[in-house]
Amino acid sequence: MDQFAYDKPRTMDALKARLSEADPGLAILAGGTDLLTQIRSRLRRPSLVLDLKGVPELRALEIRDGGLSIGAAVIVNRIVEEQAVTSPFAALCQAAAELASYPIRNRATVVGNVSNASPCADSVPPLCVFGARVVLDGPAGCREVPVHEFIVGNRETRLGPGEIVTRIHVPTPGPGAFSGFLKRKRVSGHDLALANAALLCDPTRGLLRLSVGSCTPRPTLLVLDHSLDRPDPDEAAAQAQTMIHPINDVRASVEYRRDMVGLMVRRLFEMLAKARECRH
């Protein structure tokens, strides 16, 4: 591959020091499942690859500050495996289980999935409905940005010069909350979503949120809180189908994507209804 230097800082301070050099040829390496394919196809030509896996605090997956904290080096499979902390975040666990393939999930990170900002990122719809925030650290200090505002377009984020996403904070849903995730693919194995969607119903916090992915350049978030007590699946499906701008590509046509979005929204509401039944 290309000529790039490689460095692996062992502390957060050392990592931030390298980032503050603001080298325009710098690429952050976490899982590498996007970066290495991009380097191989010459989409990215870094002069320095900075491996963040040497910084211990970036590997933390824990409950803190009223939510789930997913460190930048946390691999997707840990979301599936560490149910003791992740089980309240069902939609995120379901998305994690469907992302790419098992060996990819052993390297790919949730923070990387968000930062790469592909419109079909599977972690994004669940993170949006949970109201998750990216936590950034940089020359101007720490700041937090909601995931659905952090990603501004296809492979574009609001990451500033010298900044890094250190973790993602996902607020813990209230008791009795339901969340679900669905992904439509061409095959039952490793495939990108031609469309995906997540739903959160959190009665104690008054939230009914829907997010559809792989159909718009930016994340979508439909706020349906007003209909929390009497959800209208058909209305929600119609709204979702109107707000998206799907494209024709190798995976699906505009019409099929729109159709699948309607299907997934109605199925997510069926899953919600079933969960409510089980509770009573």
Partner 1 sequence: MKPTDIPIRLTVNGRPYEGSVHPGLTLLRFIRETLALTGTKEGCGIGECGACVVILDGRPVNACLVLAAEADGCELRTIEGEAREGTLSPLQQAFVDQHAVQCGFCTPGMLMSARALLDREPDPSDEAIRTAMGGNICRCTGYASILGAVKTAAAHSRGGDR
Give me the residues that bind partner 1 (CB under 8 A), please: 1-6, 8, 29, 31-33, 36-37, 39-40, 49, 51, 53, 77, 97, 100-104, 106-107, 188-190
Q: Minimum Å distance from CB 7 to partner 1?
A: 9
For partner 1, the closer of residues 77 and 113 by Cβ is 77
For partner 1, the closer of residues 31 and 119 by Cβ is 31
Q: Which of 221, 202, 205, 217 is nearest to 129 (CA)?
A: 221
Residues in the chain: 280
Q: Minimum Å distance from CB 39 to partner 1?
A: 8
For partner 1, the closer of residues 100 and 243 by Cβ is 100
Report d(CA 225, CA 159) in Å as an integer.
30
Report d(CA 178, CA 210) in Å as an integer.
12
Contact assessment for residue 179 and residue 200, using Cβ atoms and an 8 Å cutoff: yes
Q: Minimum Å distance from CB 186 to partner 1?
A: 13
Report d(CA 106, CA 83) in Å as an integer.
16
For partner 1, the closer of residues 97 and 254 by Cβ is 97
Residue 133's DSSP bridge partners are: 146, 169
| Distance in Å from the first CA to the final CA of the chain | 58
Q: Minimum Å distance from CB 124 to partner 1?
A: 20
Q: Minimum Å distance from CB 140 to partner 1?
A: 30
For partner 1, the closer of residues 45 and 274 by Cβ is 45
Report d(CA 95, CA 90) in Å as an integer.
9
